[in-house]
Structure 1
């Protein structure tokens, strides 16, 4: 049984991780961590998550005995989470989005000492769709008449970054699939369009961000050709897919050597 610490435990995602972990015999929740000034400090994490009292209060101190940490919080907390994971020698599932290049460098450095899974989306379906997007691009990139790729993402009104990290990852993987051997196609990433932009460039990937209501997240990848269109769409109906994916990643990390892993590794793709 893995000793689990959830950082950001009082947030929307943290609560779902706590609730799903409570029903999973692979985990024992040992810490539900929040910032010292959080209004939920002292409340039972299970009660807060709606899964019944678990005897683990939401608190700010980190325990010493942890096997794995799941972080669903804010980018400004990432440095502290990484440091605490290193001190505990615990594996880390970094599920926080909107990370900077500096955060990614820090994760790479830390992965020399602990095992880390990082992905812009913990959803198993999203990561499978990413693989399909790569394969579709590779198959059609040299089609006569050209291949146009547009990425449309929708999220809730509270999301602070645009386009989503998941959309950017789709674009990165598609750009790699466009490359021929060691030669880049000179892909240009275009964020929205307005005014008299002229004809669409042949080597563009377009991004369009929609923010509405409480949408937990959906991505549509449009592959446009002359006479045909393919759309790959993946949509979440609630947040449990992200929590379940993070827990799957945590299980997969059990016994893994230090390294920076992705959800592709978790899915063996």
Structure 2
């Protein structure tokens, strides 16, 4: 078992963090070697399994990410943009594969991640599931086949605790549609409609978000014209699909050269 790749989970107390800890604790493909949380968090110094309300797993939660990363071959990170860019630099210093599932990243964050990717393997994606990444390929093909007489709308739904809108997956779908149509998403994107907005602009790509309950993730990409609609849909019912995808990315990254990759690379799509 000791020859299995060692993995660190950051943000261990979060929804995805706990899912990853549970998956890795029972994995025959990798070892959970450390759990990281922010300084002052009540889990610091506690066994991660006990902190989650279960049995001890022999892994103590720490607030020293560099020391944790130095003992690992990969870091799986579903935290917040400001934390992720710090982890990217530290993972690069430790030469550990950094798998990033954090959403809400902006240009300044991506620039710092790009710098870290000169020294280590980074796999970053707004969604780690196979189904979503297949849907992205379909989105490009459908958008390329339809002209601007077909309106494009992205509708997404998530649990009440999600803090960013649109979701990372929604933005990925919008970007894929824009690429298929040969336009800039930044120029075509319309979100948060309110009040008297007037008729939609031809060629725009609209975004709508639903937040409520414990919805794991639902995404519709709608192509609509006079008399007909095409709807591409992905429904996530179990957060474990993202954990499995992240682990697959962490293992895949072990044999890659430093650089920045996405799930399409991991899945060979």
TM-score, shorter chain, exceeding 0.5: yes
* CA distance in structure 1 between the aligned counterparts of 2:227 and 2:31, rounded to whole angstroms: 54
51 and 67 in structure 1: CA distance in 2 versus 1, 3 angstrom threshold: farther
* CA distance in structure 2 between the aligned counterparts of 1:223 and 1:251, rounded to whole angstroms: 36
| Cα offsets for 1:149-192 (capped at 9, x unmatched) | 1000111111111111211121111111101xxx7699521113
- What's 2:140 paired with? 134
* CA distance in structure 2 between the aligned counterparts of 1:74 and 1:199, rounded to whole angstroms: 36
* CA distance in structure 2 between the aligned counterparts of 1:44 and 1:152, rounded to whole angstroms: 40
Name stretches of at least 5 consecutive residues in structure 1 with no aligned partner: none
Q: Which aligned segments of 4 or more residues in structure 1 are displaced greater than 6 angstroms?
A: 183-186
Say whether residues 1:172 and 2:178 are aligned partners: no
**Shift, 1:38, TM fit:** 0.7
Q: Where does 1:175-254 land on structure 2 (aligned, <5 Å)?
A: 175-179=178-182, 188-254=188-254
Aligned partner of 1:119 among 93, 117, 125: 125
202 and 39 in structure 1: CA distance in 2 versus 1, 3 angstrom threshold: same
Kindly indicate whether the alpha-carbon contact (under 8 Å) linking 2:155 and 2:219 is maintained by their aligned counterparts in 1.
yes
Q: Where does 1:31-180 land on structure 2 (aligned, <5 Å)?
A: 31-49=34-52, 52-61=55-64, 62-63=67-68, 64-141=70-147, 146-179=149-182
* The structure with more helix, counted as a fraction of residues: 2
* CA distance in structure 1 between the aligned counterparts of 2:53 and 2:79, rounded to whole angstroms: 19
* CA distance in structure 1 between the aligned counterparts of 2:266 and 2:86, rounded to whole angstroms: 25
* CA distance in structure 2 between the aligned counterparts of 1:186 and 1:86, rounded to whole angstroms: 30
Aligned partner of 1:7 among 10, 21, 27: 10
184 and 10 in structure 1: CA distance in 2 versus 1, 3 angstrom threshold: closer
Name stretches of at least 5 consecutive residues in structure 2 with no aligned partner: none
* Greater length-normalized contact order (CA 8 Å, ≥ 6 residues apart): 1
| Cα offsets for 1:210-252 (capped at 9, x unmatched) | 1111212111111112222111111111211111111111111
* CA distance in structure 2 between the aligned counterparts of 1:139 and 1:20, rounded to whole angstroms: 41
Question: TM-score with structure 1 length normalisation?
Answer: 0.91
* CA distance in structure 1 between the aligned counterparts of 2:62 and 2:186, rounded to whole angstroms: 49
Q: What is the number of residues matched between the two proteins?
A: 263
Kindly indicate whether the alpha-carbon contact (under 8 Å) linking 1:155 and 1:210 is maintained by their aligned counterparts in 2.
yes
Question: TM-score with structure 2 length normalisation?
Answer: 0.91
* CA distance in structure 2 between the aligned counterparts of 1:115 and 1:141, rounded to whole angstroms: 38
* CA distance in structure 2 between the aligned counterparts of 1:68 and 1:202, rounded to whole angstroms: 45
* CA distance in structure 2 between the aligned counterparts of 1:162 and 1:214, rounded to whole angstroms: 16
Larger mean CA deviation between 113-122 and 45-54 belongs to: 45-54
